[in-house]
Amino acid sequence: MSLYSQRGVSAQKEEVHAAIGKLDQGLYPYAFCKVYPDHLGGDADWVNIMHADGAGTKSILAYLYWKETGDINVWKGIAQDAVVMNLDDLLCIGIHDNIIFSSTIDRNKSRIPGEVLKAVIDGTQELFDRLSAAGVHIRYLGGETADVGDVVRTIAVNGTMTARWPQKRLVTNERIAAGDVIVGLASYGKALYEDFWNSGIASNGLTSARHDLLHKHYAKEFPETYESSLSDKVVYIGPYRLQDHLTDGHDQYTAGQLLLSPTRTFAPVLKEILESHFDAVHGLIHCSGGGQTKCMKYLPSDLRIVKDNLFAPPLVFRLIQQASGADDREMYQVFNMGTRMEIYTTESHAADLIKISAKWGVEARVIGRVEHSDKKELVIRSASGDILY
């Protein structure tokens, strides 16, 4: 059993998918988000979408960093994580503007004071202001903030996004076909619309990242940050503290910077691509929960995905793998490994899409292709060889 499973989490969310298996799959079963008829407006040419997600256990890292340093601004990054995990999912069905957002924040009041709530809420609005300057307009409708100390030990930051969208401007993944190439967008670096360098970690796999990288010191000092029934063998088993400095070539970062880099949104990039090259976009996949295997769930038919030119995993993932001893198969199932958005397109359009991404300071390249197959399968070429899923 993997360390990830021993900590009570699953990259593939098998039990979640089983629980929702009988629910209506919406108009387009292979679309990245559920799409429904326009119940709000009653127009057959429009659709409604509502999507929920959040920052996950990354808020625990923010809690540790805030307790250790007193830096309240770390919570603004968690606000961004909760927003982007919604927004970039909606981008995958073509929605890039005129969105409304409602936040859900559950806190343990004895540990999370009002100043933290204010930082999260202010951070949310500040992100929307920055995105508006890039042409992506999201209205903040407030939401629910609950004091539920009997339910949460620290804080959970989540949200819901809703949009009404023209049906003819949807990306449903039904056009993904053999012969397509996959343009991958890097999760790391510094985009023109970002204030700081990004490690690429995003908001998935943070339970493993936190326990595999951080020192047992955090278990002793902050027992509220982990499930008490877990074996001591899987709790905070790493070598680092959050303020330890780590070097990657000539660059130096703290462990906290690597783990708490706010999730990058690709909204400015994809807005331009969807407005100027909509017909060239056959499919979009956000490599979130499930990492590089996420694409398997959204293939419209029996196809083979070959990813043989992924970006080299950046420092944060190399450190996690070194500390945990996880093999490449598990790493690519849990983490984005440096490539977090996939655009399925024709070979003739790939260069144009890459050029648009580069204009925004986001590295992009052809990372793979789609082939004929008699079953759905995925091949990933890693440093240790080819991995078949």
Angle between helices 267-276 and 347-359 (to 10 degrees): 140
DSSP character string of 21-78: TTS---S-TTSSS--EE-TTT--TTEEEEEEEEE-TTHHHHHHHHHHHH--TTHHHHH
Q: HSE-up of 131 (CA within 13 Å, CB side)?
A: 28
**Residues 257 and 61 sit within 8 Å (Cβ to Cβ):** no
Structural domains for the chain = 3-197+260-388 (3.30.1330.10)
- Find the helix or strand (DSSP H, E) in which 186 lies: strand 181-186
Residue range 252-266: average pLDDT? 97
Residue 385: beta bridge partners? 382
Q: Is the predicted pLDDT of residue 370 greater than 90, yes or no?
A: yes
* Beta-sheet strand order (sheet of 283-286): 283-286, 339-345, 181-186, 364-372, 303-307, 377-382, 385-388
Question: What number is the average pLDDT over the span 298-314?
Answer: 98
142-180 pLDDT, tens digit per residue, is 999 999 999 999 999 999 999 999 999 999 999 999 999
Distance between CA atoms of residues 275 and 171, nearest Å = 12
The lowest-confidence range among 57-61, 157-161, 172-176, 230-234 is: 230-234
How confident is residue 249, by pLDDT bands cut at 50, 70 and 90? confident
Burial of residue 119 (number of CB atoms within 10 Å: 0-12, 13-18, 19+):
buried
Cα–Cα distances (Å) from 363 to 94, 161, 273, in that order, read: 21, 27, 15
In this prediction, residue 3 has a pLDDT band, given cuts at 50, 70 and 90, of low
Q: What are phi and psi of 212, to 5 degrees?
A: -75, -30
Residue 280 has pLDDT above 80, yes or no: yes
Q: Is the pLDDT of residue 17 over 60?
A: no
Report the 10 Å Cβ neighbour count for 353. Answer: 24
Rounded Cα–Cα distance for residues 227 and 117 (Å): 23
Instruction: Return the C-alpha torsion angle 210, 216, 217, 220, nearest 10.
Output: 100
Report the Cα 209 to chain-centroid distance in Å. 14
Tokens encoding 207: 């339970």
Confidence grade of residue 74 (pLDDT, cut at 50, 70, 90): very high
- Mean pLDDT score across all residues of the chain: 95
Share of the chain above pLDDT 70, in %: 94
